[in-house]
Amino acid sequence: MSKQSANDPNSLKAIRIGIDTYQESVVYMRDDCHICRAEGFGVQTRVQVQAGGHSVIARLNVVESLSAILPAGQIGLSKIAWDRLGLEDGDRVSISHPDWVNSLSYVRSKIFEHPLNQRQLLAIVSDVLHGRYTDVHIASFLTACANRLNIDETAYLTQAMVDVGSRLEWPGTDIVVDKHCIGGLPGNRTTPIVVSIVTAAGLTMPKTSSRSITSPAGTADTMEVITPVDLDLEQIQSVVREQGGCLAWGGNVSLSPVDDILIRVEKAIDLDSEGQLVASVLSKKIAAGSTHVLIDIPVGRTAKIRSRSDALGLKRVFEQVGERLGLIVRPVITDGSQPIGQGIGPAFEAQDVLAVLGNRQDAPPDLRERALLLAGQILEMAGLEPTGAGVGRAARLLSSGAAWNKFKAICEAQGGFREIPEPQFRHLAVADSDGRVKAIDNRKLANLAKFAGAPNAKAAGIRIFIKAGDSVSKGDPLLELCAETQGELRYAMYYLQQNSKYIQFY
Amino acid sequence: MSKQSANDPNSLKAIRIGIDTYQESVVYMRDDCHICRAEGFGVQTRVQVQAGGHSVIARLNVVESLSAILPAGQIGLSKIAWDRLGLEDGDRVSISHPDWVNSLSYVRSKIFEHPLNQRQLLAIVSDVLHGRYTDVHIASFLTACANRLNIDETAYLTQAMVDVGSRLEWPGTDIVVDKHCIGGLPGNRTTPIVVSIVTAAGLTMPKTSSRSITSPAGTADTMEVITPVDLDLEQIQSVVREQGGCLAWGGNVSLSPVDDILIRVEKAIDLDSEGQLVASVLSKKIAAGSTHVLIDIPVGRTAKIRSRSDALGLKRVFEQVGERLGLIVRPVITDGSQPIGQGIGPAFEAQDVLAVLGNRQDAPPDLRERALLLAGQILEMAGLEPTGAGVGRAARLLSSGAAWNKFKAICEAQGGFREIPEPQFRHLAVADSDGRVKAIDNRKLANLAKFAGAPNAKAAGIRIFIKAGDSVSKGDPLLELCAETQGELRYAMYYLQQNSKYIQFY
């Protein structure tokens, strides 16, 4: 590999400065650096850093020459910048002005309500992939598109996200099924159960899931508690060849890699919008080689989708964008009025999943019913059962232990079972007085679980002891708040005090 | 002042790590830090840092424990974080989870097209002022409001921006005039001329200007080439008491301080929208104690405002918001079809201003005419001249040398004259063939000047040798590109090659 030469006046010796800036590349240059002077670089300038054929755009932080952290003649690189350039100790890098990013003018044009065409969206997605957007540019793009992408734009964005990534193929298989829940409903962890049932029926379901965007757990976060999910492309293909399905994290296989970059900023601004949502979901499905996709749309006053008419709108967008991209999409509108299952947070949701699959007495009936409904729909979509007969078949596959055996086989193929972690710090919330539960607030409970540390802290979250309609007496436990650290427990308890209406009584 | 105690388990010894992160506070903590573990802090977490009654919200960058840049038991603070906390060597700081930022839910609600009320906008503006928004949150807020603020929201935002800052008073003066150009027209540097004329007529015009947002020069950038503009409140009041007017930078006096924070992010995403624009302009004017404000709205195919109907729309917003806030606002629509004057960039525009004020033969006639028109309107607004007679009076004040004397007196009061810097690196662009100039592209010329280093490099920019309608022969000079560094000149020349249509010929 060709390296930068010490004779290049714009080259500096690179050092791994040991600062982790997550996904945004940052470089550190001294305020007396000759390149800063020659090129007119200042704090927060975007610079292009090149080494041996690789190139990244990085944000510049300026280091005072008095400071001891950076010797003269050197440039410090944050962890991600170092890794992306594939540097080794002693390497030199070359620093220059980045090329003009044309696609930023398309973002500006979108802000002023001009629709984006296919070429423009591909340019934006490609520039995001190649690190030419800083976080504020991505935040602006996401905000400009929130609630404002038409069907054409959504289809173009979806296609662009597929085009810049890898694409899986499943030779010899005509039907490849998949499912996705649009979220907003804590504890609605049906995916592992659905995959186990439909693959037990002989279907192919190579399920790759994302980590949580704004929720206390995604399927990948939950499955990670049970078994390894960081599979590479080859491992996924081998597990699916062997078992018909998998339950892997999608982030390692570069399926719609831009989606992961966008999701990181969506998370920071706590935003998850319709067009983006459809593009995110369908781009992953198309890239994964799916042909039939079921979408679970929970509706409830405190769910992501609050009304039936909003749900019908989203359903149409999914169907129309799917049709344009040659994908059969079946959105199913479900009850999202309160959390599903008994726990919120990766470990708690994993326990609920295992209880249902194992046909245990203490399994949450609402999670079981929901999973059977969805699995039944997939069996019907794929033509294995006539309309109306899918749920019955799904229930038989679950009760017989076929789904449980399939789940165990998939986990074994992915690398075996893990011990589910237990939280160290707990706080029990009890009823102040007698009463009957009117409603449970999905959003407040999701926030509460996040403040307790979920999903990064796997054992953190909430155990819920009640459902809407239940009668409680003063002193009865309502929920248990669980955290891995004292600080997070304190933080969540503080939120609980400030938001007493997380459960409403008649 | 009370300092954090070494007994506080969440306190660490602070060190000034010597990294300049501009306006965003960043802290550096080791990956083995007990507080990160106890509180569940990870890379990019927002943390609250407190010391002696001060508090900032900072973004966390994690330092590997192997790295030598941060000893165990210490926390590194970026320059701005250190300065905001007012720390001294040896001080300890306390680190905790930041309070929940309620106003972020208002931003989200705005993204989904719910109008914001007065209380919500005040909460957002106040949280921005207190550093509770990171840059991605600010970018999202600005994008959500771009083109989508109604009159009420714009008035509330304006008032909120005034309320959180200082406010100047001019006791004994009933009429305080001001002007603002909404920009987009390179070289349109009328303000120093207008201030000199109307204060020579006896009016009070305490002009505070901003630095450039997305243009190659703002009035503050240009005036800084001629005289000190970094005046504090007391200095501004003293100059105005003495001379009736000033030409200062507004950033030192905390008039609408949130505007400066928003502008920094607007600049990064190259966004400048209608409601934000009106709020930015009028909040500064109200905070400066103005009663009568003239707004210059240049219209042209390549100006910020492209059509007469857009200009009329913006005019109405200015008038309506002004009326709601008790301010007399007169927007004037002007010709924005091509750059004004002979130069673009701080030093070149300063030279044009001095040529007009000095009644020099080589003064650009278009700049002179434009300044007289605007000064005439102000003289009429303030009741010094009847309608139609303002321009004549303005011309007499300029020709007589009264305005020039006033300008010199103001500069002397602000700290004296500076020598105007000359650029070191130049490139002359000449005509490829004979022809007649049809149009000059404001945007492309503005970009060109910015790539050459303007406004940060004061001497950088463009000298223009032609106007629309001029005939040129092959080899005639069209413009000269000037930079302070070779790297910037190269960068601008590259842009020039890629954008040959910056001048269109018949």
Q: Looking at beta carbons, which residues of chain A come within 8 Å of B144?
A: 143, 146
- ipTM surpasses cut 0.90: no
The one-letter amino acid at A296: D
Check B268 against A22: CB less than 8 A apart: no
Average of per-residue pLDDT across B484-495: 89
pLDDT of residue A7: 65
Residues of A tagged active-site: 272
pLDDT of residue B6: 60
User: Which chain B residue is nearest to residue A60, measuring alpha carbons?
Assistant: B21
- From the CA of A285, how many Å to the nearest CA of chain B? 27
Instruction: Tell me how crowded residue B344 is: count the other CB atoms within 10 A of its CB.
Output: 32
**Euclidean distance between CA atoms B131 and B59, whole angstroms:** 11
- Residue B259 known to be catalytic: no
Average of per-residue pLDDT across A206-211: 88
Q: 3-class SS at B60?
A: strand
pLDDT of residue A194: 98
**Euclidean distance between CA atoms A336 and A465, whole angstroms:** 18
**Euclidean distance between CA atoms A192 and A195, whole angstroms:** 5
Q: Is the pLDDT of residue A486 over 80?
A: yes
**Euclidean distance between CA atoms B145 and B153, whole angstroms:** 9
Instruction: Tell me how crowded residue B499 is: count the other CB atoms within 10 A of its CB.
Output: 15
Ranges A151-155, A207-211, B23-27, most confident: A151-155
Whether A463 and chain B come into contact, CB under 8 Å, resolves to no
CA separation, residue B39 to residues A119, A461, B34 (Å):
45, 15, 8
Check A61 against B19: CB less than 8 A apart: yes
Cα-Cα-Cα-Cα torsion A220, A223, A224, A229, nearest 10 degrees, comes to -70
Give the dihedral sign, CA A182/A185/A186/A190: negative
pLDDT of residue B24: 83
Whether A428 and chain B come into contact, CB under 8 Å, resolves to no
Check A20 against B62: CB less than 8 A apart: yes
Check A40 against B112: CB less than 8 A apart: no
Test mutation, B19, B46, B102, B138, chain A, max A CBs within 10 A: B19
The one-letter amino acid at B29: M
User: Which chain B residue is nearest to residue A107, measuring alpha carbons?
Assistant: B269
Test mutation, A10, A65, A140, A212, chain B, max B CBs within 10 A: A140
**Euclidean distance between CA atoms B462 and B343, whole angstroms:** 6
Predicted confidence (pLDDT) per residue in B185-205, tens digit = 999 999 999 999 999 999 999
Q: Average pLDDT of chain A?
A: 92
Q: Looking at beta carbons, which residues of chain B come within 8 Å of A108?
A: 270-271
**Can you give B62-111 as a three-state secondary structure string?**
EECCCCCCCCCCEEEECHHHHHHHCCCCCCEEEEECCCCCCCHHHHHHHH
Q: Is the pLDDT of residue A408 over 90?
A: yes
pLDDT of residue B497: 87
Q: Looking at beta carbons, which residues of chain A come within 8 Å of B134?
A: 268
Check A147 against B62: CB less than 8 A apart: no
Test mutation, B23, B134, B136, B482, chain A, max A CBs within 10 A: B136
Query: A313-322, long-range: CB within 8 Å, 24+ apart, which pairs?
Result: A313/A274, A314/A182, A314/A274, A314/A277, A314/A278, A317/A151, A317/A154, A317/A274, A317/A275, A317/A278, A318/A278, A318/A281, A318/A282, A320/A151, A321/A151, A321/A154, A321/A155, A321/A158, A321/A278, A321/A279, A321/A282, A322/A282, A322/A293
Ranges A133-137, B6-10, B296-300, most confident: B296-300
Instruction: Please give the residue that has the higher pLDDT: either B39 or B343.
Output: B343
Q: Is the pLDDT of residue B417 over 70?
A: yes
Average of per-residue pLDDT across B352-359: 98
Q: Is the pLDDT of residue A1 over 60?
A: no
- The CATH number corresponding to B11-96 among 2.40.40.20, 3.40.109.10, 3.30.420.40, 3.40.50.720 equals 2.40.40.20
Q: Looking at beta carbons, which residues of chain B come within 8 Å of A107?
A: 269
Q: Looking at beta carbons, which residues of chain A come within 8 Å of B489?
A: none
**Euclidean distance between CA atoms B311 and A81, whole angstroms:** 45
Task: Tell me which CATH code domain A425-505 carries.
Answer: 3.90.1170.30
Asked if residue A330 lies in contact with residue A315, where contact means CB atoms within 8 angstroms, the answer is no
Secondary structure (DSSP) of A4-29: --TT-TTEEEEEE--EE-TTS-EEEE
Active-site entry in B272, B296, B352, B366: B272
Predicted confidence (pLDDT) per residue in B451-487, tens digit = 899 998 999 999 999 999 999 999 999 999 999 999 8
Residue with tokens 């155990």, as numbered in its chain: A463
Burial class of residue B40 in the structure, from the number of CB atoms within 10 Å of its CB (0-12 exposed, 13-18 middle, 19+ buried): buried
- From the CA of A245, how many Å to the nearest CA of chain B? 33
**Number of inter-chain CB pairs under 8 A, A vs B:** 174
Confidence of residue A4 (pLDDT cuts 50, 70, 90): low
**Euclidean distance between CA atoms B218 and B249, whole angstroms:** 10
Predicted confidence (pLDDT) per residue in B297-321, tens digit = 999 999 989 999 999 999 999 999 9
Poorest-confidence range of A4-18, A315-329, B322-336?
Answer: A4-18
Give the dihedral sign, CA A26/A31/A37/A42: positive
* Minimum-distance CB partner of B136 among A61, A144, A265: A265
User: Which chain A residue is nearest to residue B95, measuring alpha carbons?
Assistant: A487
Whether B74 and chain A come into contact, CB under 8 Å, resolves to no
Q: Looking at beta carbons, which residues of chain B come within 8 Å of A216?
A: none
Confidence of residue B1 (pLDDT cuts 50, 70, 90): very low
**Euclidean distance between CA atoms A272 and A321, whole angstroms:** 18
Residues 202-231 on B with a CB inside 8 Å of A are none
Predicted confidence (pLDDT) per residue in B30-60, tens digit = 988 888 877 778 777 889 999 988 888 898 9
- The CATH number corresponding to A177-252+282-414 among 3.20.20.70, 3.30.2080.10, 3.40.1030.10, 3.40.50.300 equals 3.40.1030.10
CATH architecture of B177-255+279-414: 3-Layer(aba) Sandwich (3.40)
Confidence of residue B4 (pLDDT cuts 50, 70, 90): low
Check B273 against A104: CB less than 8 A apart: no
Residue-range domain boundaries for chain A: 11-96, 177-252+282-414, 425-505
Q: Is the pLDDT of residue A167 over 90?
A: no
**Sheet strand arrangement including A328-335:** A177-181, A292-299, A328-335
Q: Is the pLDDT of residue B2 over 60?
A: no
Residues 79-98 on A with a CB inside 8 Å of B are 79, 96-97
pLDDT of residue A287: 92
Average of per-residue pLDDT across B216-231: 95
Q: In 3D, which of B432, B431, B427 has the Cα closest to residue B491?
A: B427
At A249, list the tokens: 């994290």
Residue with tokens 């957002």, as numbered in its chain: B124
Secondary structure (DSSP) of A326-343: T-EEEEEEEE-SS--SSE
Residues 142-181 on B with a CB inside 8 Å of A are 142-144, 146-147
Average of per-residue pLDDT across A429-446: 93
pLDDT of residue A35: 83
- Helices B257-268, B118-129: axis angle to 10 degrees equals 80
Check B268 against A38: CB less than 8 A apart: no
Instruction: Please give the residue that has the higher pLDDT: either A441 or A213.
Output: A441
Poorest-confidence range of A190-199, B254-263, B441-450?
Answer: B254-263
Average of per-residue pLDDT across B332-352: 96
pLDDT of residue A2: 43
Query: A380-384, long-range: CB within 8 Å, 24+ apart, which pairs?
Result: A381/A177, A381/A292, A381/A294, A381/A328, A381/A330, A382/A175, A382/A177, A382/A198, A382/A203, A382/A292, A383/A175, A384/A201, A384/A202, A384/A203
Residues 5-44 on A with a CB inside 8 Å of B are 10, 17-22, 28, 31, 35, 37-40, 42-44
Which residues have C-beta within 8 Å of that of residue B115, sequence separation ≥ 6? B150, B152, B153
**Sheet strand arrangement including B461-464:** B343-344, B461-464, B477-483, B425-430
Instruction: Return the percent helix, strand and coil in chain A, to nearest 5.
Output: 40, 20, 40
Ranges A51-60, B21-30, B59-68, B334-343, most confident: B334-343
